[in-house]
A and B are shown apart, each in its own frame.
Chain A
């Protein structure tokens, strides 16, 4: 095979097999940290949500204190996913949060999905309006992103405040399954640790 042909093949495969780039940054004033992950057409951002911030959000939506606290202290991140290819061109990106894995202290686990949360709440413990707010404020478990599409919402990792974990991000682009890691993600600490 000629060198030029090999180069052309490599170039064609680049968008779907690109190595992930991860950038960690922190806000100087709040101390909140975010992780920006990009690979192929996928762009993912995880932004720490302080337990107090999440607690306040769900209390204002009608949750009881104990349920709001349970959610708030389960390592919640504002999560933004985008297909960074310009609208009208390129391949779709699909994610299923059920396939993502986190590793903490050598133990592997999954994301705490919205369906799992809702299933634990008896009808009389969480009102319908509160459930509705939870449903739309949390990230969809399964979603396909056409070029230019994005979505945002909370994801919860079921770990205590301050825990550090690695996240295996899994996605499908152009029919091909791919995965890569974000290392050393820090669950947001509780109020006392805020600057």
Chain B
């Protein structure tokens, strides 16, 4: 297959996925707000992040991979959202599943991510969360409970979504 054909095939696949998989700009409340499974993971800068260290702040946790088209599509909006919420003390953690620093380094050259990108190399952490597909995002409230989930991609800089995060601070 020629390079042009490969690009066409990829574009067609992405268009199909985007057309059907575009999700509403909504968050699904998680009944009973179960306690979020704790984790301690290193980010791509070598810094350790433990979920319980962020008690008292809302935390957005996004499970993703570089090869996942909807993940790629939502990363730019996550970066824009991060610029809006970081100063307010809201935490954003993107947990990459199964890939190494080199792969992510190459990826972030095209898709800049200023928020922490954590490495779940062996998939141990994602296995402890009720994730069925990528991307999946959870919003953890300041008490460490899962308040919302979003299956599939979102435009994370949408004010409606950010307001839901901000509301958890009150």
Contact = CB atoms under 8 A, between A and B. Distances in A.
A148 B133 contact: no
Contacts, number: 99
Interface residues on B, range: 20 to 34
Given A80-B16, A151-B151, A152-B70, A136 B98 contact: yes
Given A47-B16, A87-B28, A149-B151, A136 B133 contact: yes
Contact of A148 (B8, B9, B23, B70): B23
Nearest to A135: B123
A151 B5 contact: no
Contacts of B67: 57, 60-61, 133, 137
A135 B131 CA distance: 12
Interface residues of A, number: 41
A129 interface: yes
Contacts of A60: 67
Q: Which 6 A-B pairs have the closest CB atoms?
A: A151-B133, A132-B98, A87-B26, A27-B12, A47-B16, A132-B123
Interface in B8-61: 8-10, 12-13, 16-17, 20-21, 23-24, 26, 28
B13 A47 contact: yes
Interface of B: 1, 5-6, 8-10, 12-13, 16-17, 20-21, 23-24, 26, 28, 65, 67-68, 70, 97-99, 121-123, 132-134, 151-152
Nearest to A57: B67
Contacts of B68: 136-137
A49 B13 contact: yes
Contact of A52 (B1, B13, B65, B122): B1
A47 B16 CA distance: 7
A148 B28 contact: yes
Contacts of A151: 132-133, 151-152
A143 B132 contact: yes
Interface stretch (A1-9, A28-36, A171-179): A28-36
A128 interface: yes
A106 interface: no
Given A32-B9, A152-B21, 5 more contacts: A53-B6, A53-B13, A60-B67, A61-B67, A129-B98
* Residue among A135, A146, A150 with max Cβ neighbours from chain B (10 Å): A150
Nearest to A195: B5
Given A140-B133, A191-B1, A149 B28 contact: yes
A134 B67 CA distance: 11
Contacts of A149: 23, 28, 151-152
A45 interface: yes
